[in-house]
Structure 1
Amino acid sequence: MYLSFSQKRKILKSFMELSEQVDKYGRTSYKFEGSNERRKTVACEFSYTGNGYVYGANLPDYANMADERGWVSVRDFSSTQLIDIVSKAINSISNYPREVTPQKSAPEQETEFTGFEHRIIRNLIGYKLYELKEKWFWEKQCKGFKSGLYFYQLDTASIPYPFSPNEVFYIGKAVNLPERLRHHFTVDNRKRLVDDERSLEWFYQNYYLSKNYSFNIRLFSLAKSEIDKYELLCIGMFIIKFGAAPLCNSIISREKFKTLYQNISEVDKNTVTKIIEFIT
């Protein structure tokens, strides 16, 4: 399973040797001040999209994965892999190489939560438009996922929400995820949802603005009976955390969210918290 931004950040911040810096877009970088080289940055450009790079040009185990600048994308790394490459990157520029391990924090006590599966469909603009309109394409991408929530996220840009930038620009739910996502790219289906050409033009221009960017879709598989509740909870928690809602078909006020949140079980609270962690 992919690590969320918060999970990667927690791992990187656990290295006592590294200091964190956050840029105006919310991306984080990590410097090793004890470097014996002019270059002090060990890891950079970690963001909500999943992007993140560790300098690996001098690392035999990772040099073949490095780009022309020497950076290794750790986007899909597991926690073990991320710890390994960061440890080796620190040692490669240290005057006193040693076994570097992240500082262990006290184990957190977790409440059992409703299980869900998570998947990322990456770089949608990399596919042909005719593919995005085909039923077989979405059935393949969503294999094993029937009902659940989905989040559209920009890949190379972020949206300046009032409290903090974030890449999410759409939150939705679906009883049938493959069919629902296919409809997003089938304009003919959209024509039946609006009354006139002016409405269609506004919807098309705003909704499909994302086609000018690289973007991903995050899927969360949930029981059909739970998707309405979790959609409202995710939208409400997003508003609380970022100050405004992204595009979405459902609306929930802060007051309604607080009431709903107070009346759900600890299992539900833990589940929606974990979903939000994946996108933040």
Structure 2
Amino acid sequence: MLNVERKLEILESYPQLQRKNVSLGRVNFHYEDSAYEKKIVALHIHPNGNGYIYAGLLPNYETDAKGFVNIRDYSEADLRTLLDATIEAMSHNPDAADVVEQVPAEKKSVPVTLSSGGGIWINDEGHTLTLKYDNDMWCVYAGQELEMAFESRGEAGEYLQEEGFRPQGQAQA
């Protein structure tokens, strides 16, 4: 088991991570260039050697409900492997790239282009809704009020289409 000083040295050796001291002598490390809203890579690195690394985007790690792995008994090699994989995974968000999704034919076979920032959706009467990625969810807002929240952009786009909305600037079908 690595002591806390060695864990901190390893974390500080990653120039893309920013150290943030928190309560009770614990330290977090943030990845500000994350392609996701999630920025915390290392959580509560404690003076007793306990701590957590985010692995919620990685397939081969058992995580807690928030996507973190306990690194108390990790070796340096295991810790670096996990950190490298986490930073790589957080660097590329496939949902953030422009995506064209095909809505099933029984609904409408109009391809919908969804941009990385969500955006304004409009219906035939001129009403608008805003699609925005917020707190790890795709949220649909009517003005300032949250109308619906979805885990994926595809679900949000499908809902908006079912309600008669299309991205602003897209021609009517």
Q: Deviations along 1:2-55, whole A, 9 cap, x unmatched?
A: 100000000000001100011131101000111111111111100111211011
Residue 58 of structure 1, CA deviation = 1.3
Q: Tell me the equivalent position of 2:161.
A: none
Q: TM-score, normalised on structure 1?
A: 0.32
Asked if 1:59 corresponds to 2:63, the answer is no
Q: How far apart are the structure 1 equivalents of 2:24 and 2:77?
A: 27
Q: How far apart are the structure 2 equivalents of 1:30 and 1:36?
A: 16
Q: Which runs of 5+ in 2 are unaligned?
A: 94-173
Aligned residues: 93
Q: How far apart are the structure 2 equivalents of 1:70 and 1:35?
A: 15
Q: Which runs of 5+ in 1 are unaligned?
A: 97-280
Q: How far apart are the structure 2 equivalents of 1:11 and 1:88?
A: 15
Spell out structure 1 runs of 4+ moving beyond 3 A: none
Q: How far apart are the structure 2 equivalents of 1:29 and 1:88?
A: 18
Q: How far apart are the structure 2 equivalents of 1:61 and 1:16?
A: 25
Q: Identical aligned pairs, as a percentage?
A: 32
Q: Quick one: which of 62, 87, 108 aligns to 2:84?
A: 87
Q: How far apart are the structure 1 equivalents of 2:89 and 2:35?
A: 9
Q: SS of the residue aligned with 2:11? A: helix
Superposition map of 1:88-237 within 5 A: 88-95=85-92
> Which structure has more strand as a fraction of its residues?
2
Q: How far apart are the structure 2 equivalents of 1:61 and 1:19?
A: 26
Q: TM-score, normalised on structure 2?
A: 0.52
* Corresponding letter in the other structure for 1:79: E
What RMSD over aligned residues (CA atoms) do the two structures have, in Å? 1.3
Q: How far apart are the structure 2 equivalents of 1:42 and 1:48?
A: 18
* Corresponding letter in the other structure for 1:95: H
Q: Quick one: which of 70, 82, 96 aligns to 1:73?
A: 70
Residue 87 of structure 1, CA deviation = 0.8
Residue 93 of structure 1, CA deviation = 1.0
